[in-house]
Structure 1
Amino acid sequence: MYDKLNITSNKFKNAIQKFDGDFPVSHLTFNINNSLPSGNYGITKKPANYNITIEMSNTQLSKISDLGSVVAITHEIIHAEIYRKMLSAAKKGDLNQGEYSTQDRINYINSLADNFPGLYDYYWKRYKPTWNHNLMAQHYRNTIADIVQQFDNNRLSRQIYVDIAWAGLRILEDRKESDAWSNLSPSEQNRVLLNLKNNFFNGISNCK
């Protein structure tokens, strides 16, 4: 699936390339972790020593469609990209602010505000523990949809790709709705749920 994404989606390839090269802000490592709990397709670990690790569960991915797997992988890539931006602002190899000097913390937050205002807004200005997924729900769903649409060669309507990008971005870790999901009308939410059922969970599964 990863190899096919690299071939079929320029946006996915470009996202991965940000972690390559001689002097990247961070490196990216992919691992398989089939012990992730049911319904958890992947996890992105916090940066450590200039490296971000993504763990995907083949066991869980086998339970959803190919498009669902692409959404799940892209979802984790975006988590990594958010961390990469944070490392870029911090100019450090980790995000352990408790070990930063006071000036380092000030420089870090100011850099976020200057360079990544959307990230700064959710992470600092109106922080809540679910800031990461709230940020993704508001600002990254179209990016996920773009990558899935390229992978699928425009087989379906744009609306379906946008709707299945909601996977993992509706009900968050605290069991509350994301801000962006709450702003949808009931009819829009019902449409999304139907498209998730028909295309994320069900649908073509040739890459298993």
Structure 2
Amino acid sequence: MLSQNSDLKTAVSVYLMQKNYSAASIKLAADLLNYIANDTVLRTNNNKLTQQIVQLSLFTNKFTVNSFITFWSSLNTEEKMILQNYANNGVSANGNFLKPSAISFLNWALGYLINNNTMSITQFENWFMSGNDMSNNLTQEFITDLNNQDIIKPTKRFKSNNYVNCIFNKAKTAPNFKQYLKNFDPDFSVAHLLFDLKPLPNNSEANATTAEPDRYWIEITLNANNLDRPWLDIARTLMHEIIHAEMYRILLSLASTSNGQIDKDELDNMLNNHNYPGLYEYYREYRFQDMQHELMAAYYRGIIKNFLKQLDNNITNSQAEAIAWVGLQGTTAWNDLTPAQQNAILNTYFSWRNSASKNCY
């Protein structure tokens, strides 16, 4: 195999020279090459994915030879071809090398998949490989987001939409937004957070949905069919959904199943017998599906209002207050307002929305 691939031969030779041809380095290189030689996907001639795997496993600390072999052995041929096809599509026009954007993504993808067993390769493809083509600069920005522990992970569909990505980049600068994202830092949190962009099922007109945790992932999906609105209104949706995700994170931290879902039976027991009186009262009165908007209307509108002001200090307090109410009509807090107060809020919101900018810079 080495005789058929000069780049691979050069990489292994350099590695062995750096290690002074120690017995351990010779065995490690031999184990890797023997494994590749017996793999129907990786052993093909001039395989750029194979070259990248050899470079990463021998010259970096992203993953070890043994961890790579364990990971790759767990995949079937169809799953292996997801990464192989990505590499094939990322080869330069002359066929001599991988494009820089493809190298950057594969470096992150291989390290992430090998070191995280909470995601299948097909789920990974759906989230991070499906979407419009990206420029090299946008790909680098995408990789930066994916590598940043304090930033929610965007899907490729989300990141490749210029309007949504511009709003997302603005939101990342707001202190309130960053504060909540830190709650999902993998060093401290039980949950991972993801932003996606696609039409919602059944032609739903909702601005977005936040799914219950599954395999410790909380997925926020922005409705791709409902983007014809002011950029600040979409930013408000992002913050609204982050708060939903935060509530799910708290519930998951109290009671989770082995597959990273909320254990609702255990949650009943936890809230009945432990010191979470405020949370329990809302859970008892409104149950699982309805408690979140009730809590948000009662306690989180000020956070949304401050977030909006952090992004656009030209809006008035009454406008920020009205925007923060969106999606919370029908709650107890809303129903406690007089009809005159409700109408004033709605009029303020729609008056602002009708003239607010849909351009994001």
TM-score by length of 2: 0.49
Query: Which structure shows the bigger proportion of residues in helix conformation?
Result: 2
Match of 1:30 among 189, 195, 213: 195
Match of 1:165 among 317, 324, 334: 324
Partner residue in 2 for 1:181 = 334
Partner of 1:55: 221
Residue range with higher mean Cα deviation, 13-22 or 142-151: 13-22
Would the alpha carbon gap of residues 189 and 108 (structure 1) be closer, same or farther in structure 2, given more than 3 Å must change? Answer: closer
Match of 2:348 among 192, 195, 205: 195
Instruction: Say which one has the larger Rg.
Output: 2
Map 1:90-101 onto structure 2 (within 5 A).
90=255, 92=257, 93-98=260-265, 100=266
Residue 21 of structure 1: how far off its partner (Å): 3.2
- Which 5+ residue runs of structure 2 have no aligned equivalent? 1-166
Deviation at 1:202, TM superposition (A): 4.6
Match for 1:47: what amino acid?
Answer: P
Aligned residue runs from structure 1 range 96-115, under 5 A:
96-98=263-265, 100=266, 105-107=268-270, 109-111=272-274, 114-115=275-276
Partner of 2:74: none
Higher relative contact order (CA 8 A, sep 6+): 1
What percentage of residue pairs aligned between the two structures are identical? 33
- Contact 1:63–1:201 under 8 Å retained in 2: no
Give the secondary-structure state (helix, strand or coil) at the position aligned to 1:155.
coil
C-alpha separation between the residues in 2 aligned to 1:15 and 1:197?
28
Distance across 2 between alignment mates of 1:192 and 1:168: 13
Is 1:118–2:278 an aligned residue pair? yes
Q: 1:89 to 1:35 in 2, by over 3 A?
A: closer
Q: 1:139 — aligned with what?
A: 299
Q: Given the superposition, is the C-alpha separation of residues 118 and 158 from structure 1 closer, same or farther in structure 2, using an over 3 Å criterion?
A: farther
- Describe the shift of the 1:181–1:201 C-alpha distance in structure 2 as closer, same or farther (beyond 3 A): farther
Inter-partner Cα distance in structure 2 for 1:23 and 1:163: 34
Residue 68 of structure 1 corresponds to: 233
Q: Which residue of 2 aligns with 1:173?
A: none
1:127 corresponds to which letter in structure 2? Y
Distance 2:223 2:232 in 1: 15
Say if 1:64 and 1:202, in contact at 8 Å, map to a contact too.
Answer: no
> Of the candidates 25, 36, 42, which is equivalent to residue 208 of structure 2?
42
| Cα shift at 1:108 | 5.0
Moved over 4 A (4+): none
SS of 1:32's equivalent?
strand
Indicate the residue corresponding to 2:168 in structure 1. Answer: 2
| SS at 1:140 equivalent | helix
Aligned length: 191
Structure 1 residue 11 corresponds to structure 2 residue 176? yes
Mapped to 2, the partners of 1:108 and 1:94 lie a distance apart of: 17
| SS of structure 2 residue aligned to 1:167 | coil
Give the RMSD, CA atoms, in angstroms.
2.2
> Contact 1:90 / 1:108 at 8 angstroms: preserved in 2?
no
Deviation at 1:199, TM superposition (A): 2.5
Q: Map Cα deviations across residues 126-153 of structure 1 (whole Å, 9 max, x no partner).
A: 134522212211111111111111011x
| Partners of 2:318 and 2:348 within 8 A in 1 | no
Q: Aligned partners of 1:109 and 1:136: how far apart in 2?
A: 22
User: What letter is aligned with 1:65?
Assistant: P
Q: Which residue of 1 aligns with 2:250?
A: 85
